[in-house]
Structure 1
Amino acid sequence: MRLALVHDYLIQMGGAERVVATMADAFPEAPLFTSAADRERLLSPLDQREITTARWLERTPGLRRHFKKYFMFYPAAFRSLGRVDAEVVWISSSGFSKWIRTRPGAVTVCYCHTPPRFFWEPDEYLQHEVSNPLLRTLAKGGLAALRRADFARAQRITYFVANSRCVQRRIREFYRRHSEVIHPPVDVDRFEVSPVAGDYYVVLSRLVGYKRVDRAVEAFNRLGHRLIVIGDGPDRKRLEALAGPTVEFYGRVNDGEARRLLESARGLIFPGREDFGIAPVEAQACGKPVVAFGAGGALETVIDGETGVLFFEPTPEALADAVLRCDLIDWDFYRIRRNAERFARPVFLRQMSDFLARVGATSRRQETPAEAAA
C-alpha cells in the first residue's frame, strides 16, 4: 500500500500539526503535501522531511502572520500541487486539504479535526475575527459559497475519521457522512506524575478570542488566586488589560518550560469549548486535575470528580465555583495519569494503522445516511 499524507498548512504548530508529525514519524516513506509551510517552525520530524507545497502561495507577502485571511487561495493552492500518486491518501483537515487531487481509484481517508468553523459556524467565528458588522455581513455571503463547495468535496472522500465524538456529530450534521472516532495522539511519556501541587493554576492556550481565556482571567480576578497563562496570540493585550494582580502572562515558552510549569501546578484551567483539546490530556499525564468547560472534547477526556471538575455554565462565576470545588478534592494523581494513557501515541498509531490496513484493501466509499436508508 503506497500512502501519502496531506495537511491544510504547516504554518502554526498546534495539536493538528502534532498529529501530522506523528503520522510522518510512523510512515517515513510517505510523501507529504500541504498548501504552505513555515520551515523555521516545523516540528520534528517534519523539519527533516521533503514537503510539497504551493511555492507561489508561500511567496505571498504577510502569509505567515495572516495566513487565515488568505483562505480564498487555499483551494487553488491544493489544486496546483498536481495529482497525488498513492493508493491511499490520508488527509488531515480542518480546512481546505480535501481539495487535493488524487489518482482515479485512490482511497481517501480524511482525519477530520473539525469541519471548517469559519463557514459552517460563521456567527461564532466572525464574532471573534471580524469586528466590523458590515464586513461580517458581507463575509457571510462568501462563506455560504465555500460551505456548498466544502460539502461537495466531502462527498468525494472515501472514509472519514473524527478526532472526537463531538466532531463525529458535526461530520454527520454538516456532511451527512458516517465516521469512526480515533482520538489524537498525546505524547504522555514526556510527562511525569508530580504529587506536589504549587500555589497556581495554569492556562495553556493560544490567546485568541474563541479559546475564552478571558473567562479564566475574570474568574481568577474574582478568586484572588494565582493563574499563570502560557501562550501568545492576538488577544494577549486585551487579556492583560483585563487581568488583576494575581494573573501572570508568560507568553510563548519552550516545551521543557511548559512541562515544568504544568508538573508543578495545582491543575489546568480549560475554559473554552474545543473539539478535542491536547492540553487537558497533557495535564492529566502529570497527574494534575483539569477544570474544564463541560462541552466538546472535554466530555471525552475529563472524568468529572475523578480526573477533574467540569462546569456547565459559560461564565466566570461558574468557573470560579469549579476551582473552589477542585481545591477541596483529595485527588488520586495516579488515577488521573491512567486516564491520560488512553490517549497515548501507541494507542493512536495502532488504531490508525489498523484502520488504514483495513480500508487499503477496498475503494468502496462509506455510505451517506441517505444512501444507507435507501
Structure 2
Amino acid sequence: MYTALYDARAVGDLVPAARVRTSFLQHAPLRSRAFRLYAPLYPRAFESFDLSAYDVIVSSTTSWAKGVRFRPDAVHVCYINTVSRFVFDAARYVGGFGAGMLARPLVARLAAWDVRAAQRPTRFVANSRNVAERVRRWYGRDADVLPCPVDVDRFTAGAGNGDYVVVVSRLLPYKRIDLAIAACALVGIPLHVLGTGPDERRLKRLAAGTRTTFHGLVDDAARNAIVGDARAAILPGEEDFGLVPLEAAAAGRPTIALRAGGALETIVEHETGAFFDVPEPASLAEALRRFDPAAYDPQCLRAHAERFAPPRFLARLRAIVDETAARG
C-alpha cells in the first residue's frame, strides 16, 4: 500500500505498518498539523512512487492518488470520492486554505495538474452518481458508480430518546456547521457536534450563548451512544456522497439533510430522513419544526444501511477490477 503520509495512531490495526510505503513527505516537519501547507508537493509525492512491478493498481482518492504513474501495459482503477474541490469550488477551497488571495495562483496550478492527472487512470469508479457527473463534467471521463461501504457492525440501533440533534463532521467551512448552529438556535433544540477541524474556533464563537455542545473526536462507543440517542442527524452542507445518513441509519436514526448532492442517493425521503431545500438557517429551522422522529422505524433504518455493507461493495469492486484487468 502506497500513501503520501501514514499515521499508525490514526489507522490502528486496519493497515499494518509493514505493508505501507510512504513518500518523502513522511519525514516533513509538522506534517500531521500543517499538512495543507504541503499541498504543492503532493503531486510530486504520488508521481514519485515506483509502481513498475505491478500489473494492476487500485487507488482511492479525493485529489492526488489518481496521478500515480504506471507501466503502459498495466491498468489503474481509481475509486474517486470527489472531484478535487480546488477544481470546481476554488473560491471556497481558497478560503479554507487560510491564505486568501495569496493562495489563488497556487490553487490554479494544482487544478491544472489535477485535470491532467485525471486522464491517467484506466477506469474511474465514483462513490455516487453526483461524483460521476462531476468526473464527466470536469475531467471529460466516464465513471462507474459504486456507493461507499458502511461498516454497520460499528453501530447498534438506538432508541432516539434524547432531546437533541447531532452533526458528525470534519469542521470545515464548506460543511456548513454554522448553518446547523443557527437553525437549532432559532428552534431552541440542543445541537451536539462530533468532530474537529480548522473551522472549530470560528464555530465555537458562533455557538456562544446557544445550546451547542462540541465533543471533539470521540471513540466508536461514544459516537454510537450520542448518535443513537439523537432525534436525528443533521447534514447541513452539500456532500459528494453522504456517508453520515447511512451511519446514522445504522444507529437507527434518521437524517435531516440539504436537498442536494450525494444525500439524494443515501436518504429515502419519509423513510430514512427528511430534506430542507435552501441552505439557510430558516429553511433548516422549518424542517426541524416539522420533523417527527416517531415516524421513523429504527429497524427499517438499520436495514437501509445494511444495503451498503462492505461485502457487497468488495464483491462489486473486485468484479470491476477483474474486468478491467482482463481487457488490458
Query: Who is 1:64 aligned against?
Result: 32
Query: Who is 2:159 aligned against?
Result: 195
C-alpha contact 1:107 1:362 (8 A) present in aligned 2: no
Q: How does 1:352-363 map to 2 (within 5 A)?
A: 352-363=317-328
- Counterpart of 2:50, as a letter, is G
- Counterpart of 1:167, as a letter, is V
Q: CA deviation at 1:195?
A: 3.2
User: Which stretch of the first structure deviates more once superposed, 296-305 or 331-340?
Assistant: 331-340
RMSD: 1.7
Given candidates 109, 112, 116, the residue that maps to 2:84 is 116
Q: How does 1:98-177 map to 2 (within 5 A)?
A: 98-130=66-98, 132=100, 134-135=101-102, 139-177=103-141
Q: CA deviation at 1:147?
A: 2.5
Q: CA deviation at 1:49?
A: 4.4
| Residue-by-residue CA offset, 1:185-238 (whole Å, 9 max, x unaligned) | 101122222234311111111111111101111111111111111111222222
Given candidates 90, 107, 111, the residue that maps to 2:58 is 90
TM-score by length of 1: 0.83
- Counterpart of 1:121, as a letter, is D
Unpaired segments ≥5 residues, structure 1: 1-31, 364-374
Given candidates 225, 234, 249, the residue that maps to 2:198 is 234
Given candidates 244, 254, 265, the residue that maps to 2:219 is 254
Q: CA deviation at 1:181?
A: 0.3
C-alpha contact 2:254 2:293 (8 A) present in aligned 1: no
C-alpha contact 1:309 1:325 (8 A) present in aligned 2: no
TM-score by length of 2: 0.94
For residue 313 of structure 2, give the secondary structure of its aligned residue in structure 1: helix
For residue 244 of structure 2, give the secondary structure of its aligned residue in structure 1: helix
> How many residues are paired up?
327
Change (3 A) 1:319 1:88: same
- Counterpart of 1:118, as a letter, is F
Unpaired segments ≥5 residues, structure 2: none
C-alpha contact 1:112 1:161 (8 A) present in aligned 2: yes
| Residue-by-residue CA offset, 1:344-370 (whole Å, 9 max, x unaligned) | 11111111111112112112xxxxxxx
Percent pairwise identity: 40
Q: Does 1:42 align with 2:34?
A: no
Query: Who is 1:366 aligned against?
Result: none
| Residue-by-residue CA offset, 1:78-114 (whole Å, 9 max, x unaligned) | 2322234211100111111122221231111010111
Query: Who is 1:216 aligned against?
Result: 180
| Residue-by-residue CA offset, 1:141-185 (whole Å, 9 max, x unaligned) | 333333232222222211000011110000000111111000111
Q: Does 1:33 align with 2:12?
A: no
Change (3 A) 1:166 1:283: same
